């Protein structure tokens, strides 16, 4: 029987790299990696013989263990590390030699589990970053390509003012860029404090005629694992988890907005956007004609799923007590892993969506025209209030009357504006949506300039 969760009820991340990097096999291997790295560090410091180091390295392979058996034993200690260590020791003792004393020396379960979770995050976040950067690059191209493509802006679901599709894409990009900044500044600290966060057992051992210090060994372990060495253990200081979950949640929120906007625009009656078509995707089990916008749906699923997970992590952090939390620590594990999975999966779907998104300018223009003259009513009030009989209030009344039918707003205004005072050409220009875009072009330029700077920064590191 397999203990692996394949994600059949979680299509936002099923089958993605994030799923493989965070499954139970990866987590168990992460715990074994921490234990093995700690023994290697001790061996390098002369605290155990090379033969013991080699034995532990051979034993620290997840393929050696039955994860179903491990899962069944996990409730007995309320965490998976305790029975896993028992399995490792049994395997080592079966080799006809004592279990190496360096195994788990001076550590506690939380050291290994928290460090293993940081390893999983450190291995998954770069994949998320890469997909986010692909998405951002595609959005930047859309913003530039459609800088002057007119469309209708919507406010509270209703037609508002003219805008450009380029600005809409730039806004998606700006949100994703802000979220990516949080990803780029994340740290993944080692957890290393011993039973009560004092490293008392390790320090006691080292005080018995050993030159190494626990600070030196801790720093070496962090380096061995590619994690950061913190100033103190963080057993009940859960800020590393909160920083990580906040960053992941920000990415999911930005991608959720992208997905929701595409879902609206891809409705056949709106028709402004289409998802990329690929064989085998978007089909219906019953209706052959349907092409479902699956990437956007999965972005929305991820965005809707993440707040509860983040709430769990913040609640757990706020109720962490003593030197090891009783239950709140345990509540973090599945929530954090699911956030990593959701963000990794959503980032992959977003990259595919953005890179293949089809924009239909004719439908954008059609929907802009649906609002008629009324979409420029704000401009009429701003420009004509001082010269129109009755001022701004009269213009607003004309707008309301025009919405009820009869003459258009342009025709109504023309009746009360002397041609010699305001020519037909001037009035036509006033109703040109391309002339009422405000700072849209500047905002696009600002966003693209910031994106270029960001892109140069990540390219310089590659």
Q: Alpha carbon 94 to chain centroid distance?
A: 45
Name the one residue in this structure whose structure tokens are 């973090």. Answer: 332
CB atoms closer than 10 angstroms to residue 277: 10
Beta strand 158-164 with 150-155 is antiparallel
Contact indicator for 19, 7 with CB cutoff of 8 Å: yes
Q: Determine the Cα–Cα distance for residues 210 and 80; give it in Å rounded to an integer.
A: 32
- Please list the residues that pair with 228 across neighbouring strands: 189
Q: Determine the Cα–Cα distance for residues 341 and 335; give it in Å rounded to an integer.
A: 10
Q: Determine the Cα–Cα distance for residues 205 and 47; give it in Å rounded to an integer.
A: 10
Contact indicator for 135, 176 with CB cutoff of 8 Å: yes
CB atoms closer than 10 angstroms to residue 15: 12
Could you tell me the two tokens for 373? 């003259």
Q: Determine the Cα–Cα distance for residues 263 and 275; give it in Å rounded to an integer.
A: 9
- Please list the residues that pair with 155 across neighbouring strands: 158
Q: Determine the Cα–Cα distance for residues 339 and 303; give it in Å rounded to an integer.
A: 10
Helix ranges (H only) for 192-238 are: 200-206, 214-225
Q: Is 2 a catalytic residue?
A: no
Query: Using alpha carbons only, what angle is made at residue 303 by residues 298 and 308, rounded to the nearest 5 degrees?
Result: 125
Catalytic residue chosen out of the listed positions 324, 366, 379, 396: 324
Q: Determine the Cα–Cα distance for residues 324 and 225; give it in Å rounded to an integer.
A: 23
Coil, strand or helix: which one is 128? helix
327: left (phi over 0), alpha (psi -120 to 50) or beta: left
Contact indicator for 276, 349 with CB cutoff of 8 Å: no
Q: Determine the Cα–Cα distance for residues 217 and 47; give it in Å rounded to an integer.
A: 11
Q: Is 168 a catalytic residue?
A: no
Contact indicator for 82, 76 with CB cutoff of 8 Å: yes
Catalytic residue chosen out of the listed positions 93, 187, 207, 284: 284
Phi then psi dihedrals of residue 273, to 5 deg: -135, 155
CA distances from 121 to 23, 109, 213, 232, 299 (A): 12, 18, 28, 20, 20
Residues designated catalytic? 284, 324
């Amino acid at each position: 029987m397999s203990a692996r969760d394949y994600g059949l009820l979680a299509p936002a991340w099923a089958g993605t790299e994030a799923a493989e990097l965070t499954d139970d096999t990866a987590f168990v291997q992460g715990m074994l990696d921490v234990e093995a790295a700690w023994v290697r560090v001790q061996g390098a410091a002369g605290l155990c013989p090379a033969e013991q180091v080699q034995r532990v390295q051979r034993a620290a392979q997840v393929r050696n263990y039955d994860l179903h058996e491990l899962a069944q034993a996990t409730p007995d200690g309320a965490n998976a590390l305790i029975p896993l260590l028992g399995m490792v020791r049994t395997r080592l003792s079966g080799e006809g030699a004592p279990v190496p004393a360096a195994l788990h020396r001076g550590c506690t379960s939380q050291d290994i589990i928290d460090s293993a979770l940081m390893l999983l995050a450190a291995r998954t976040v770069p994949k998320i970053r890469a997909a986010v950067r692909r998405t951002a690059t595609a959005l930047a191209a859309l913003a530039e390509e459609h800088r002057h493509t007119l469309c209708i802006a919507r406010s509270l679901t209703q037609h508002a003012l003219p805008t450009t599709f380029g600005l809409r894409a730039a806004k998606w990009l700006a949100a994703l860029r802000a979220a990516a900044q949080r990803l780029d500044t994340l740290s993944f600290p080692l957890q290393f404090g011993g039973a009560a966060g004092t490293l008392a057992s390790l320090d006691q051992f080292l005080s018995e005629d050993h030159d190494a210090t626990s600070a030196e060994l801790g720093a070496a372990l962090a380096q061995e694992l590619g994690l950061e060495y913190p100033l103190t253990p963080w057993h009940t200081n859960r800020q590393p988890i909160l920083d990580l979950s906040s960053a992941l949640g920000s990415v999911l929120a930005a991608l959720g907005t992208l997905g929701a906007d595409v879902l609206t625009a891809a409705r056949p009656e709106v028709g402004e956007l289409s998802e990329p078509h690929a064989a085998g995707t978007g089909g219906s089990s019953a209706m052959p004609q349907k092409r479902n916008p699956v990437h956007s749906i999965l972005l929305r699923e991820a965005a809707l799923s993440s707040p509860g997970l983040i709430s769990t992590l913040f609640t757990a952090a706020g109720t962490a007590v003593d030197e090891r939390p009783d239950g709140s620590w345990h509540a973090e594990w599945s929530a954090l892993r699911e956030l990593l999975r959701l963000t990794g999966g959503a980032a992959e779907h977003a990259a595919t969506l953005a890179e293949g998104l089809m924009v239909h300018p004719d439908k954008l223009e059609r929907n802009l025209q649906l609002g008629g003259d009324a979409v420029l009513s704000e401009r009429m009030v701003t420009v004509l209030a001082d010269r129109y009989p009755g001022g701004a209030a009269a213009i607003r009344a004309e707008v309301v009357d025009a919405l009820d039918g009869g003459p258009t707003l342009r025709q109504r205004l023309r009746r009360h504006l002397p041609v010699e005072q305001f020519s037909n050409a001037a009035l036509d220009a006033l109703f040109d949506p391309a002339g009422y875009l405000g700072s849209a072009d500047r905002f696009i330029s600002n966003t693209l300039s910031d994106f270029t700077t960001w892109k140069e920064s990540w390219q310089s590191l590659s």
